[in-house]
Structures are given as structure tokens and as C-alpha cells.
Amino acid sequence: MAQDWLSMEYQIAQEAVSELEGVLVFLKQEEGKESVHDMRVMFRRWYSIWGVMRRDGWETEKYKKGLGRDIRLAYKILGKIREFDVMCSLSKKIGLCDDVVNAFRRKRDSVREKLVKQLSKIDLSKLFKRLRRYLTEREQILDIKFKARSRFLRIVGGKSGGKSKAKNRKARKMVETEEHFNIVLAEHERRTADLVSRAHTVEELHDVRLSVKAWRYLLVEFFDNTHPVLVKAQQYLGKVNDLDHLAIFLETKKLGLEPHLVKKQISITLKKRDEMRNKFDQLKRSLPYGFRPGLPGLQKPASNHA
């Protein structure tokens, strides 16, 4: 059945909430590394979808001060847990000395326990139910506005709504829906291109990373597609970000290690960070600006899943 862009956004958002609820079951059973990571990935998916929906009027002041605030808190806690997990695995992967790796593990274990307790105080099950209700109520309000606008455009355009043209209306709805999301995609590409052109510092590359990640999710969630260059760019920029955080932590946190030892580990970390940055600099010329895979059911292009 042909969908307008509003009902498509509503359906995708509800599916994302279902994914969050599914991961929550495992999180309650086992607060291990994998379940925490999976929950954070699902929250990241939600934020990418919500970025599109915010543009289209789904977000209200009530959401920002209530649901949005609570979601941000849960996501922030999950992010802190993930940060220490990454530093432990990354410090070992890039060849830092055992003293540093073990110090990170001890720090992670003590911090993780406190963060998991903070997370357990948030009733995520209730939070997701509230989110479902909000989406349904907001969709009904936006649907009235959207249908009123569509009727106005048909009248102005002199288009009849007779039963004989039902098939054409469905086809037109799909085309209009694709055009809507292509406009969203083009806007996001322009923002990303602007960020890439101005990115010189690690902080600016962090903004590029978030934009590339959102671009990739936009293609996955709304077009059921992706692009291998975006996957690779996200990986490189993610490593730049993680290695930079690792170097900052080594420099500013007390791990109970000799200063000369820490200094050497920072040098190793920054060298790896710059290697990843150089790889992205070579790749950024190939970012897929203008890539338009088409909506599922309207076109069947060659798959670019990666």
C-alpha cells in the first residue's frame, strides 16, 4: 500500500521503539557489555530517525522538556559505559603497554558499576510506552494538517479526486513521498559537505562523524539502502574520535603510572589517530553526494548494502 511520508515516518519510528523494547529484555536479564552496546546502538538509531522527524514537525516543547530529556539522560549514561569499554579494547588493540591496559580495566570496572546503577534507576519500559503514546498523538495532529494541505494543493492544481483516478493517486503519493525524502537527503548532504570543507581540528571532524553517521542511517531507515564509502568513512572518523579521547584520558586522568610511561603511550595513540585521519582525508573526495537509491517498492536499484 502506498504511504505518504508522514505515515512512513510514524511506522519507522514505532519500529525503532519496538527494537528498543526488544533490547531492553536482554538488558534486564544481563547487564553485560553486549546488551549495553546493543541498547546504545538502538538509541543511536532512534536519534537518527528523530533528526528527520524533528525537521518535519514532530518535536514539541513538551517533548524536549520531558521525553527528550529522559531519553538523553539514558543515552548519556550508556555512552559513558561504552567509552570505558572502548578505551579498554582500543588500548590493547593499538599495542599500549600492559600497565596501561590493566589500569583502564580497573577504572572501567569501578565506573561501570556506578553507571549501571544510575541506568537501573530509569524506568526504560515506562519511558518507551510514553514515547509510543506521544508518537500516536502527534501523528494524529500532524495527519490533520498534512491532509488539509494535500487537499488544498489538489484543488489549486485542479486535480480531481474521483474513484477512477485512485490508482494514479497512489502512484503520485509514492512519488511525492520519495521526493520528500530526497529533499531531506539533499539537505543533509549539503550540511555534510559544508562540515567536511571546514573540518581542520579533531573537534570539527567529530561533527563530520556525526553527520556521516546520520547520513548513513537516513539511507538505511528511509531508503533501505546504504553506501560502502559512508560505512568506511564512519569507521575512520569513529577511530579518530576514540583515539583522541583515549589520548586525552591518558593525559588528564591519574592512572597511577609513571609520567614518562604515560607520555610514550600518548605518542603511540596520537600516531594511530593521525593515521586514521589521513585515511579519511583520502576517502572524503569519494563521499556519495547525489546518491539516490529510491524508496523500496518504487525502484529496485542494485544493492549497496555493506
What pLDDT digit, counting tens, does each position of 159-179 carry?
544 554 555 555 566 678 899
Give dist(CA 295, CA 264) in Å, integer. 51
pLDDT of 142 over the 80 cut:
yes
Give dist(CA 91, CA 85) in Å, integer. 10
| Digit-coded pLDDT (tens) for 82-135 | 888 888 899 999 999 998 888 888 888 888 888 888 888 899 999 999 999 999
Read off the pLDDT of each residue in 31-50 and give the average, rounded to a whole number: 86
| Digit-coded pLDDT (tens) for 238-293 | 999 999 999 998 888 767 778 888 899 999 999 999 999 999 999 999 999 999 99
Q: Which residue has the higher pLDDT, 59 or 36?
A: 59
Give dist(CA 209, CA 230) in Å, integer. 10
Contacts 24+ apart (CB under 8 A), 48-52: 48/213, 48/214, 48/217, 48/218, 48/221, 49/9, 49/12, 49/13, 49/16, 49/217, 49/221, 50/13, 51/214, 51/218, 52/9, 52/181, 52/184, 52/218, 52/221, 52/222
Torsion, CA 6, CA 209, CA 26, CA 19, rounded to 10 = 10
| pLDDT of res. 37 | 85
Domain ranges across the chain: 1-159, 164-306
| Digit-coded pLDDT (tens) for 171-208 | 566 678 899 999 999 999 999 999 999 999 999 999 99
**Model pTM?**
0.84
Give dist(CA 128, CA 20) in Å, integer. 8
Q: Is 294 left (phi over 0), alpha (psi -120 to 50) or beta?
A: left
| pLDDT of res. 109 | 86
